[in-house]
Amino acid sequence: MPQVGDLRAKMSSLLEALDKWLCRPITVMEVCGTHTVSIFRSGIRTMLPEGVRLLSGPGCPVCVTDQAEVDAMVRLAKRPGVVLATYGDMVRVPGSCGSLAEARASGAEVAVVSSAIQALALAGSIQDKEIVFAGIGFETTAPATAVLLREARSKNVKNLSVLSLHKLVPPVLRLLASDPMLNIDGFLLPGHVSTIIGTAPYAFLAEEYGKACAVAGFEPLDIMSGIVEIARQICEGRPAVRRLYGRVVRHEGNVKAQELLEEVFRPASVRWRGIGLVEASGLVLADDYSDFDAYSRFGITLEEVSPPAGCRCGDVLAGRITPPECPLFGRSCTPQFPVGPCMVSSEGSCSAYYRYSSKGVSPWGA
């Protein structure tokens, strides 16, 4: 791992290497929302040469939460006798009838947690209410929900249930890789999802679709190294999935976490905002855990809900347009008054463009 001693000098070296290995213009999709934010915050976009086009992908679990799912959360929170426990990320996402923050302002009980296991403590301390934990996040975060469920069952907790909104990354990558309109040459793959799932689930990207891939960490050096590696693979015509985050990603991933996921969840086809139904891309509670399933406990069904008129989050998430190309961006859709989740999520593309590049017209590019 390169020592961070003189970060700016190291970044220059990487840029020189990129210059050498950029044989033609390339389009790289950085899938993970945390990569999107790191890229903006570190100013990497302003340092990249013209020939590298960075597309943000659907790796923002908040952004891809379907409108119907957000509405279900808000409706649950408004139910008397229910406390909705959620990570802070979801609190301001606008649903058809307002966000959790707005529901809270009108009296709904919303508890913000920084760890899933805190929902268990809540259930213990508020015995006369039903605690519903909204499980959002990808494979990095789902294991925590699995631990919560396993412990709730072993302690026979009656007033806790889970609304699983967890989604899986590899299935949506297949959809994106096979989209002829997107023209993606390479993928910067999510470092922490990979910590759980390893690198094998991405092999198809290189083998079946010829995409250049790098599993990268989140420091500026990691990200730039990933982009350099992708450019080089493309230049040398040898697409592969290269593991550049070996310090926490094993090829086989975290087997214990994978086994736990298999015990507690089963895959299901779920709707991703703006992308539609993606096969086997979501996690629902396995039969053994069905008594903790908030969907059945509260009789929740998800109908197809149209996103707000004019909202183009789906196109942004799929990399079809950049945020400034959405007609609502910066006008009726801003971080203070977001129309769609891409603007309110801390990891949303639109939010990142708005905050870090002055609504997409930053004097420094990006």
Partner 1 sequence: MCLAVPHRVVKIMDENRALVSTGGVELEVRTDLIEDLQVGDVVLVHAGFVIEKYNEDEGKELESLWEEVMQFASGR
Partner 2 sequence: MGRLSLGHGSGGRLTNDLIKEIASTFARGSGMLEFEDCALLPGGWGVTIDGFTVSPLSFPGGDIGKLAICGSVNDLAVRGVRPLWLAMSLLAEEGLDEEELLVYMRSAASVCAELGVQLVAGDTKVLPRGEADRLYITTCAMGKNEAISPWGIKEVSPGDAIIVSGPVGRHGAVIASLRYDIKLRELESDCAPLWPLIEPLTRLRDVHAARDCTRGGLGTVLCEWAEGANVGIEIDEEAIPADGDVSAVSDILGFDPLYLACEGTAVFAVASERAETVLETLCSHPIGRSAAVIGKATDAHPGLVGLRTAAGGMRVVDMQGGELLPRIC
Interface residue list for partner 1 (CB under 8 A): 1-2, 13-14, 16-17, 20, 32-34, 59-61, 87, 114-118, 137-138, 140-141, 143-144, 147, 190-193, 195-196, 222, 225, 228-229, 242-250, 254, 256-257, 260, 347
Residues 6+ apart with CB under 8 A from 297: 130, 161, 291
Among residues 200, 173, 188, 174, which one has the least CA distance to residue 255?
A: 200
Residues 6+ apart with CB under 8 A from 145: 116, 133, 135, 137, 162, 164, 166, 264
| Contact pick of 30, 66, 71, 89 for partner 2 (by CB under 8 A) | 89
| Contact pick of 47, 68, 275, 278 for partner 2 (by CB under 8 A) | 47
147 in Cβ contact with 120 (< 8 Å): no
Q: Which does 196 bind (CB under 5 to 8 A by kind): partner 1, partner 2, none?
A: partner 1
Nearest approach, Cβ of residue 361 and partner 1 (Å) = 27
Q: What is the DSSP letter of 17?
A: H
Distances (CA, A) of 360 to 10, 323, 364: 27, 8, 10
The window from 170-178, 238-246, 300-308, 348-356 that contacts partner 2 (CB under 8 A) reads: 348-356
Q: Which does 327 bind (CB under 5 to 8 A by kind): partner 1, partner 2, none?
A: none
Closer residue to partner 1 in complex, CB, 100/214: 214
Q: What is the DSSP letter of 320?
A: S
| Contact pick of 5, 50, 114, 128 for partner 2 (by CB under 8 A) | 114
Residue 366 binds to partner 2 (criterion: CB under 8 A): yes
The residues in 162-201 that bind partner 2, with binding defined as CB under 8 A, are none
Residue 7 binds to partner 2 (criterion: CB under 8 A): yes
Nearest approach, Cβ of residue 227 and partner 1 (Å) = 11
326 in Cβ contact with 350 (< 8 Å): yes
62 in Cβ contact with 99 (< 8 Å): no
Nearest approach, Cβ of residue 235 and partner 1 (Å) = 13
- Tell me which amino acid residue 81 is: G
Distances (CA, A) of 166 to 77, 149, 290, 344: 19, 14, 16, 19
Q: What are phi and psi of 74, to 5 degrees?
A: -65, -40
225 in Cβ contact with 16 (< 8 Å): no
Nearest approach, Cβ of residue 347 and partner 1 (Å) = 6
Nearest approach, Cβ of residue 87 and partner 2 (Å) = 5
Residue 362 binds to partner 2 (criterion: CB under 8 A): yes
Closer residue to partner 1 in complex, CB, 260/300: 260
Nearest approach, Cβ of residue 358 and partner 2 (Å) = 4
The residues in 196-235 that bind partner 2, with binding defined as CB under 8 A, are 220-221, 224
Helix segments in the chain, DSSP class H = 7-21, 33-42, 67-78, 100-105, 118-125, 142-154, 169-177, 191-197, 203-207, 220-235, 255-264, 294-297, 313-317, 341-344, 349-356
Q: Which does 117 bind (CB under 5 to 8 A by kind): partner 1, partner 2, none?
A: partner 1
Collapsed DSSP state (helix, strand, coil) of residue 272: strand
Q: Which does 225 bind (CB under 5 to 8 A by kind): partner 1, partner 2, none?
A: partner 1
Among residues 327, 315, 320, 333, which one has the least CA distance to residue 273?
A: 315
Residue 306 binds to partner 2 (criterion: CB under 8 A): no
Nearest approach, Cβ of residue 241 and partner 1 (Å) = 10
Residue 34 binds to partner 2 (criterion: CB under 8 A): yes
Nearest approach, Cβ of residue 166 and partner 2 (Å) = 12
- Tell me which amino acid residue 272 is: W
Task: Report the interface residues with partner 2, using CB under 8 A.
Answer: 7-8, 11-12, 33-34, 40-47, 60-62, 87-89, 91-92, 101-102, 104-106, 112, 114, 136-137, 141, 220-221, 224, 335-336, 345-347, 351, 354-358, 362-364, 366
